[in-house]
Amino acid sequence: MTPITPDDRGFALGHGLFETILWDHHHPGHWDAHLDRMARGCAVLGLPKPDRIACRDVVEAALEAADRPHRAAVRLNWSAGRGDRGLDPPSRPEPVLTASAAKLGPPPGPATLATASTRRNDRSAASRIKSLAYLDNVLARAEARAAGADEALMLNTRGKVACAAAANVFWIEGEVLFTPALEAGVLDGIMRAEVLRACRRLGVKVKQVRGARLERLQDAPMFLTNSLTGVRPVARLDGRPVPASPLVARLAATVSPGT
C-alpha cells in the first residue's frame, strides 16, 4: 500500500474523496454506484478518476489485512497526493489510492437524533461530494453524542433541514415521502437514490424540497439512509418520540444496502 506523506494534500488539506462501501456476502454493495460517484467528485476537484481495477485490488488487499470478515465497512480513499506548500494544486496531480476494512456487527436498531448547531454549508460544492474534509460532520456527531443521541440532524446555512452527520434524511407527511433536495447541501447518497427508485416502482409519491423547516419533522415518521445501514427508522428526535409508519418498514424490506 502506498504510504501517505506529510505533504499529501488529502492529509494536509482534506483534498480528496472517499467512499464507504458495505462488504457483505463476499461482495461489495453497489460497487459501480460508489465508483461512479467518486468519478463525479473527481470532476469537481479537478482530479483524474481512479482506475476501477486498481480500486478493487486495494479493497481486496484491505479485506485480506482484516482477515476477510464476513461483513465489513470498506473505506476507499482517493487523495490528491503530494503538492507544494500552500493551497494551489500541482499542475499534474498524482493521487494516492488507499483502502481499509473494519469488521461490522449486525445492523443497528432505530436511530435517535439530536439537532446540531453545526451547519451544513449548502453554498459549497463540497457539500455535494464525498470529500475527505469531513470536520463539520465530526463536530455535529459529537454534539449529538453529548446530547445523548447517536446521530446528528444537520440544518444548512439557511436553517433548513439538510441531512444527518452520516446519512440522508427522509420523513413522511400523509401519503407523501419528503427528502431534502441536493441543492439544500445534501450528498447524493447511494441509498438515497435507491429509495427514490423504489418509490417510483411502488407508486409512492416523493417530494424533494429545498427549504423544509425543522418544525415539519415534529411528529412525522422519519428514517435515515446510508450505505452501511440501508433504511434505518428514527425512534426519537431531540428527545421526542417519532411515530412509526408501515411505509418505512416497506422500504426497508425493499431496499438493500448489500445489493
CA distance 3 to 198: 41
pLDDT computed for residue 257 by the predictor:
87
Class of the CATH domain delimited by 9-103 = alpha beta
Cα-Cα-Cα-Cα torsion 237, 120, 252, 215, nearest 10 degrees, comes to 40
Instruction: Report how far residue 24's alpha carbon sits from residue 226's, in angstroms, rounded to the nearest whole number.
Output: 15
The radius of gyration of the chain's CA atoms, rounded to the nearest angstrom, is 19
C-alpha distances in Å from residue 247, one per residue of 80, 149, 176, 216, 257: 42, 24, 10, 18, 18
Q: Specify the CATH number of the domain 111-254.
A: 3.20.10.10
How far is Cα 96 from Cα 195, in angstroms, rounded to an integer?
Answer: 32
223, 170 Cβ separation under 8 angstroms: yes
Q: Is 46 helix (H, G, I), strand (E, B) or coil?
A: coil
Residues of the chain with CATH 3.20.10.10: 111-254
pLDDT score recorded for residue 18: 98
The answer to whether 133 and 14 have CB atoms below 8 angstroms apart is yes
- If one counts every other C-beta atom within 10 angstroms of the C-beta of residue 139, the result is 16
Backbone angles phi, psi at 87, to 5 degrees: -90, -30
pLDDT value of position 208 = 98
Report the predicted TM-score, pTM, of the whole model to 2 decimal places: 0.95
User: Which grid cell sits at 84?
Assistant: 507544494
The ranges of the chain annotated as CATH 3.30.470.10 are: 9-103
Q: Where do the H-state alpha helices sit in the chain? A: 9-13, 31-45, 52-65, 135-146, 190-202, 246-254
pLDDT, position 4: 80
* Residue 114: predicted pLDDT: 98
With beta carbons less than 8 A apart as the criterion, state whether 96 and 2 touch: yes
d(CA 227, CA 223): 14
Quote the pLDDT of residue 177.
98
Query: What are the C-alpha distances in Å from 243 to residues 39, 56, 179, 183, 232?
Result: 38, 41, 17, 28, 14
pLDDT along the chain (259 residues), means of 10: 83 96 92 98 96 97 95 97 90 94 94 98 94 97 98 98 98 97 97 98 97 95 97 98 96 89
For residue 1, the model assigns a pLDDT of: 57
